[in-house]
Amino acid sequence: MTLDSKPQPDAIWKAVDIICDAPTLLLMESVWLGTRRFDAFQRITGLMKAVISTRLKKLVAAGVLKKRLYYEKPKRYEYILDEKGAALFPVALMMLRWEQAWNAGPDRISVKLHHRSCGQNMSPICVCGHCSEEVQAIDVTRSLTAHANQGAAGYMKRRRQAGLAKSRSGGTMLFDEISEIFGDRWSTLMLRAAFMGISRYDGFLKETSVSTNILTTRLNWLIEKKLFTKKAYQQNPERFDYKLTSKGLDLYPILLFLLQWGEECFGGGRTPSLTLEHKPCKQALQAIAVCSSCREQLTVESLALADINMEKPNS
């Protein structure tokens, strides 16, 4: 790092700051499903007006959504995806995939993703753009540059938002558990740390700069959610290793695309704070989302949601 390159927040922190908030994820989910107008956001998400309004403002300021005038007198605006919002497409796909894989059930929303290009119903998969192999966390090596992890301090005062999704008054949602997990910045950053190979209390503490009481609550919550397991590696005093379960490991593509999104949209063209290498092909990893059936890269235009058995809220 040269002297003139002032330390900047790691792009993942920026991405997490914008997206990892439960009301924001609820709003984004409804945008992805075609909602554009304020009253519809209210009806579908069940969030309070003031909450919707602050989140929409933040998303517009970040370039994720943009306002479009749809009525002249009085002036009315609708919200559509802006450039950075469109670039979140692989993140949304992987969230949808994970939720369908781990939370399927008769009382749950089921969606089929139909790939128009090949005419098949399919599941999105995350592959290396260079060798086309499916990306597994274990096949990715990371190296951090000097300025990584600045920005932690900005999160100290944030309150936990998880649980909000459960208690909201709107209809059933697609990203039920996802919005609980990624709606909480600390949990997201702890998952990220776990994917970096961190498994012990002190390691999480150092990596996330979180306070000890928040750390303990989150570790227990991640175990409760069956994303982490806990195993003693020492007695007197008892110390534990926290490891990702297969359900937790399967969140990797979401974090990977979130990181890529952060670097692409907020990295400002500087050297990425984190460089990833795909071990099987020894190339810098650029992940892409492809169709499980034809292996073509997925685009918004090539995809259709089919068979949504979704409970719509009344009125």
Nearer to Zn ion, 131 or 308 (CB): 131
Question: 228 and 243 in contact (C-beta within 8 Å)?
Answer: yes
Number of continuous H segments (helices) and E segments (strands) in the chain: 13, 12
* Alpha carbon distance 84, 62 (integer Å): 8
Is 123 one of the binding residues for Zn ion (CB under 5 A)?
A: no
For residue 19, which of 109, 119, 76, 89 has the smallest C-alpha distance? 89
Min. distance of Cβ 298 from Zn ion in angstroms? 8
* Alpha carbon distance 63, 56 (integer Å): 11
Task: Determine the interface stretch with Zn ion among 8-16, 38-46, 75-83, 270-278 (rule: CB under 5 A).
Answer: 270-278
Task: Determine the interface stretch with Zn ion among 61-69, 254-262, 268-276, 293-301 (rule: CB under 5 A).
Answer: 293-301
Min. distance of Cβ 123 from Zn ion in angstroms? 10
Sorted by sequence, the CB contacts under 8 Å of residue 119 that are 6+ apart come out as none
Count of chain residues binding Zn ion (CB under 5 A): 10
- For tokens 């370039």, the residue is 63
* Alpha carbon distance 113, 93 (integer Å): 9
Nearer to Zn ion, 220 or 297 (CB): 297
Nearer to Zn ion, 16 or 274 (CB): 274
Min. distance of Cβ 131 from Zn ion in angstroms? 3
> Between vectors from CA 167 to CA 251 and to CA 50, what angle results, nearest 5°?
100
> Between vectors from CA 204 to CA 201 and to CA 206, what angle results, nearest 5°?
110
Q: Which of 128, 174, 193, 210 binds Zn ion (CB under 5 A)?
A: 128
Q: Which of 48, 156, 294, 306 binds Zn ion (CB under 5 A)?
A: 294
Question: 148 and 274 in contact (C-beta within 8 Å)?
Answer: yes
Nearer to Zn ion, 229 or 283 (CB): 283
For residue 255, which of 151, 181, 307, 201 has the smallest C-alpha distance? 181
Q: Which of 60, 118, 205, 223 binds Zn ion (CB under 5 A)?
A: 118
Nearer to Zn ion, 103 or 275 (CB): 275
Question: 297 and 89 in contact (C-beta within 8 Å)?
Answer: no
Nearer to Zn ion, 181 or 291 (CB): 291
Nearer to Zn ion, 150 or 302 (CB): 302
Tokens of 270: 């500087």
Footprint on residues 21-60 left by Zn ion (CB under 5 A): none
Is 291 one of the binding residues for Zn ion (CB under 5 A)?
A: yes
Question: 100 and 292 in contact (C-beta within 8 Å)?
Answer: no
Distances, alpha carbon 236 to alpha carbons 4, 231, 232, 233, 243, in Å: 49, 14, 11, 10, 21
Is 281 one of the binding residues for Zn ion (CB under 5 A)?
A: yes
Task: Determine the interface stretch with Zn ion among 146-154, 168-176, 208-216, 283-291 (rule: CB under 5 A).
Answer: 283-291
* Alpha carbon distance 18, 164 (integer Å): 17
Is 146 one of the binding residues for Zn ion (CB under 5 A)?
A: no
Is 115 one of the binding residues for Zn ion (CB under 5 A)?
A: yes
Is 278 one of the binding residues for Zn ion (CB under 5 A)?
A: yes
Q: What is the rounded radius of gyration, in angstroms, for the C-alpha atoms of the chain?
A: 20
Nearer to Zn ion, 84 or 115 (CB): 115
Is 247 one of the binding residues for Zn ion (CB under 5 A)?
A: no
Is 65 one of the binding residues for Zn ion (CB under 5 A)?
A: no
Q: Which residues bind Zn ion (CB under 5 A)?
A: 115, 118, 128, 130-131, 278, 281, 291, 293-294
